[in-house]
Structure 1
Amino acid sequence: MQKKLIYCSLLSAGLLILGSGCEKNFLDINNNPNAPAQADPALVFTNALTQTAYIVSVDYLYMNGTQNYYGNSVRAAPPGPNNSNNFTSTDFVTSWTDNYHNLNDYAFIEQSGVAANKWFLVGAAKIMKALNFQMLVDTYNDVPYTEALQLGKNILTPKYDKAQDVYNACIQQLDSAVDILENTTLISEYNPGNADVMFKGDATMWIKFGNTLKLRMLLHEIGVSSQQSTIQAEMQKIASDPTGLLGPGESAMVNPGYATDAATHLNPLYSHIGYSITGAAALVGAAGNSYFIDKLNGYNDTRLGYFYGTNVAGMIEGNPLGAGGNSAASYFGGPLNKLNANNNLPFNFKPPIGFSGTIPKTWGILPSPSQSSIILSSWESLFLQAEAVQRGLLPGNAGDLYAEAITDNFIYLNVFTDGKTFNAHPKDWAAAYLSQNIANVGWQASSANPLQAILIQKYISLCITDPLESWTDYRRTGYPKDLPFSASSSRLYDYPYRFIYPQSEYNTNSKNVAAEGAITPISPKIFWMP
């Protein structure tokens, strides 16, 4: 991909507190932010999507500890404040600043798209704004919304809107976006093509993504009694839309041309939880999590060797969050495995003498430094659909969707061996897994609590790639019920429910943030929590 220098806009004077999140990727230039009319909205769109990929991949990375996807390593201090659960206004600041920076870019794209009759960009920008606000609400609850994106109005102290109102407004924006993108006459005048580094200008895929994002948000608030009529009405819209939702193999992924020619060109997940451009482990304070390893072993889950690599002894071992006693704990799974230089294959697989098959070159959660960044995976979409059907909110067969979701995740990870048997067809491994008479694995074996099975398997599938959605599911449903808390003696709270507003807000928008009351990692809860 030709490396383009993209204008990185920070247009709202009302959010000067936000800083420059766009410096994290290789599509940036330092043009004058006070001259937005000079920016091509299509180029800003490329950069904005790339920045969203960074946010999803990196800004919630430490919740992988909270969700027991990683444990502590003895190689270095553990990453983030997960051990103590004593979050402060200086923790996770980029999850605020990056999202609002990103939102200003999408607001500019939407505004410019209307002015230039580039309606495709308008619809896509509306969807991405809804995603950003969903992430903000799910971590902070009430946030600036109505006054946050008033481009050029110089609102220095934007008010905070109620979280439920923000959700409702975003759902309306998603409806509007789908209406625009389904109007083939309206969008026919312009198509972003390769400037769209997620769907390459495919309006159908954008509609599916918008519908799926709305489904995610509706299920997040499923326990809110005042939202039931809204949920029912919006589910009807989803069910009646012939375009539908993201299906198998239809993940929303961004790839602006990740490459190994420079450190800043690596896929952001790979470079932050995998390896640097020189091949050094990027997150040396983290390791495989013993709870997660035990859970997958108990389910005979072949994906274990694709989430984690083997250690020098050829084993997959871990540590709890908050305790790093095992010096042989594994690192994260993919073809590069510095802890086992003798064999980088899953489960330390050794092809038998006379083996003539072709071993896949890419597999696991870290298949390549140029891998695409997941924004919303197809397996998550299928699990969302399974949950909605199981709850009676959408038509369909929950068991079939459940099986499709698990199979889809096996395919993404490219599961081809259990360490003993070689089979290059991930579908076969998924079918064998699903055939087990084990609750929360086989559908029939999970008949006592199918919703639990859906959410536990979703939890497994989101390992490392989307800890925010996994954290949200636990906070709204309590699954998995045996999720352990940090084992650290410094733990202040058992489990965190939210982030603290950044110190910049207390410094520059003090009246509005003070109106939110005293904020701790457990209070006030996110509006959709029980």
Structure 2
Amino acid sequence: MKRIVLIAMIALVTTLNGCRQSELEELYPDPGKTSKATVENFFTGVLQAPINYVMMHYWRLFVVESPTLGHYTQVLGWVNSEKQYIPDASALNDRWKNFYTGPMVQYRELQKLYEESSEVDKADKRIFMLAATIFFYDQTEQIVDMWGDIPWSEAGKLKTNLGDLNKSLPKYDKGEEIYTAMLDDLKNIADELADISVPAFYQNLFKAQDFLNDGDLTLWKKYCNSLRLRMLMRVSGVPSFQSRVQSEVAAILGNPSKYPVVDNNNENIMVDAKAPNLTTYDNPDPGWRITDGFETWGMYNLAPKAIIDHMVTNGDPRLPAMFDPNVNGDYVGVDPLENSADQNTKISNGLMARYDTATFSRNNFYPGWVITAAEVSFLKAEAYLKYSLGDAKAAYETGVKQSIELYYKINSTGTFRAPLASPDPADIDAYLQQPGVSWDANTDKLNLIGTQKWLNTGISQMPQTWAELRRLNKPLLQFMVDSGSDQPNPPVRFVLPDTEKKLNSENYKAVQSTDNLKTKVFWDID
């Protein structure tokens, strides 16, 4: 029996994600398939391993996120059905497996190889370790935010432990402990990056291996501090974190020369669709095509009523760049409170708006979002509002403008039809004065910030959209109650895969009581 479990564990740890990545691997080789394991190759392996959940591809959209997070956040329109708030186990299992067989294994192997290097090599290649840690922590944050307590500090070490199963079955770390460890490390990394000097040879090597920021050290500094800001604000409502949050946020925002953040759309942390197998429309692998993710069955590109109503009511300049109108030329979203028969009739008659084909579903070059300037500006606005650290209104309005600019910039990369002209600045200024948008006209400033966060990350970063909606409860969305189900409302976290209960049963007992769809993760306190 132990032999069977060991084989399963080895397979779990060593299997790479199933989607074909031949072209990407040609440019950035998978370290597990190269003749020589190197720090630089494993660094690229860390970036490459979760690429299916960075880029907007079929599996991520159609199978995993759209049927779950797309519903829970109302960034997609959908037809009501029985048990609609219970996520499909295969969708959750794939996301979980991707993390543990992908970035987790690659990162642990990188750690091992780096620690075994000479002191000279460690110094020369330090940037690879720092950058990989930033990206790995970004991925870890998403898993914690979706599942809560997870195996982490002891996970991914079967090979390191020379196949010893007993040593390699990892304990579950509490979400707050993982956040604390990551925030500690990211603070130290930010301080180190502020003064780092990379030898020219290794700087060129870093640039050759880095398909996220192209070896730009300034962007890695901005990524690090922007991630810190996101994570700090994520835990800002937790009493045990509040003193730390206020202190570190003030330090980041008060010292931009030492702790720079992403400030404009030219600095967005994104994976560009620049390798043949990163393209999203004419990709040779159907599992990667953004079109199939949105348009298969004609269901996962439906516009949601809440977003459409907010955009139409307030004259949002993003509307034509984000959605195609219905057959009558109108923008109408699927009402989540309508019965399914009425919803289906309207959909069949072409009365529902859909996500824009040029910007989204047939855009060969839709990038993989990691952190955007607009997200950072909205984080600043929230921090300024809560801690009186700066001009919250200016940061909020800057974020709105950056989001508008970003969607038109992405629209301009598409070739399906001629790109739209960017909106006139006067139209953007007018939008900022609308009742549902104006800073001065609204007393609930946090609702304004939360709503614009929701509109910005939307379908492009559904895990972030879901996390911020749970944390802020803003905007407040209405859902049809599924009274015939054990889960009548959208879940507040995911449940763990069955493989955890079977293969890691002893450690699983520590989290069994909270492994359900109704127990909030540690930072979700409202």
Q: TM-score band, normalised by the shorter chain?
A: 0.7 to 0.9
Distance 1:98 1:293 in 2: 33
Q: 1:505 aligns with which of 500, 505, 516?
A: 500
1:65–1:305 Cα change, 3 Å: farther
Contact 1:474 1:480 in 2 (8 A): yes
Contact 1:289 1:318 in 2 (8 A): yes
Residue equivalent to 1:209 = 223
Please give the secondary structure, in 1, of the residue aligned with 2:324: coil
Residue equivalent to 1:308 = 323
Residue equivalent to 1:218 = 232
Structure 2 spans left out of the alignment, 5+ residues: 1-6, 413-419
How do 1:67-216 residues align onto structure 2 when only pairs under 5 Å count?
67-72=73-78, 84-87=84-87, 89-100=89-100, 101-113=102-114, 115=117, 116-117=121-122, 118-150=125-157, 152-153=160-161, 154=163, 155-186=167-198, 190-191=202-203, 192-216=206-230
Contact 1:22 1:28 in 2 (8 A): no
Taking only aligned residues, the RMSD between alpha carbons, in angstroms, comes to 3.2
> In the alignment, residue 224 of structure 2 is paired with which amino acid?
G
1:366–1:261 Cα change, 3 Å: closer
1:293–1:269 Cα change, 3 Å: farther
Please give the secondary structure, in 2, of the residue aligned with 1:414: helix
1:112–1:366 Cα change, 3 Å: farther
1:210–1:497 Cα change, 3 Å: same
> In the alignment, residue 495 of structure 2 is paired with which amino acid?
I
| Of 301-310 and 103-112, the range deviating more from structure 2 | 103-112
Q: Does 1:442 align with 2:443?
A: no
Q: Does 1:264 align with 2:270?
A: no
Post-superposition CA distance 1:342-400 (Å, at most 9, x none) = xxxxxxxxxxxxxxxxxxxxxx345721222111222111111111111116x321111
Distance 2:10 2:493 in 1: 22
Contact 2:291 2:361 in 1 (8 A): no
1:34–1:53 Cα change, 3 Å: closer
Distance 1:370 1:423 in 2: 18
Q: CA deviation at 1:89?
A: 4.8
> In the alignment, residue 354 of structure 2 is paired with which amino acid?
Y
Contact 1:414 1:426 in 2 (8 A): no
Q: 2:431 aligns with which of 430, 433, 440?
A: 433
Q: 1:401 aligns with which of 367, 378, 395?
A: 395
Please give the secondary structure, in 2, of the residue aligned with 1:518: helix
Q: Does 1:480 align with 2:475?
A: yes
> In the alignment, residue 107 of structure 1 is paired with which amino acid?
R
1:520–1:168 Cα change, 3 Å: closer
Q: Does 1:331 align with 2:354?
A: yes
1:524–1:499 Cα change, 3 Å: same
Distance 2:332 2:421 in 1: 24
Distance 1:131 1:180 in 2: 18
Contact 1:60 1:95 in 2 (8 A): no
Which is helix-richer, 1 or 2?
2
| Of 15-24 and 383-392, the range deviating more from structure 2 | 15-24
1:176–1:149 Cα change, 3 Å: farther
Distance 2:178 2:214 in 1: 29
1:486–1:14 Cα change, 3 Å: same
Please give the secondary structure, in 1, of the residue aligned with 2:77: strand
Q: Does 1:412 align with 2:412?
A: no
> % of aligned pairs identical?
23
> In the alignment, residue 223 of structure 1 is paired with which amino acid?
G
Distance 1:44 1:272 in 2: 31
> In the alignment, residue 333 of structure 2 is paired with which amino acid?
G
Q: Does 1:63 align with 2:69?
A: yes
Distance 2:354 2:427 in 1: 23
Q: CA deviation at 1:224?
A: 0.7
Residue equivalent to 1:351 = none
Q: CA deviation at 1:498?
A: 0.4
Q: Number of matched residues?
A: 469
> In the alignment, residue 135 of structure 1 is paired with which amino acid?
Q
Q: Does 1:292 align with 2:307?
A: yes
Q: Does 1:452 align with 2:447?
A: yes
How do 1:233-382 residues align onto structure 2 when only pairs under 5 Å count?
233-239=247-253, 240-242=255-257, 243-249=259-265, 250-255=267-272, 256-257=274-275, 258-259=278-279, 262-264=283-285, 268=288, 270-271=290-291, 273-274=293-294, 281-282=295-296, 284-286=298-300, 287-321=302-336, 323=340, 324-325=343-344, 326-327=346-347, 328=350, 329-335=352-358, 364-366=359-361, 368-382=363-377
Contact 1:107 1:125 in 2 (8 A): no
1:261–1:334 Cα change, 3 Å: closer
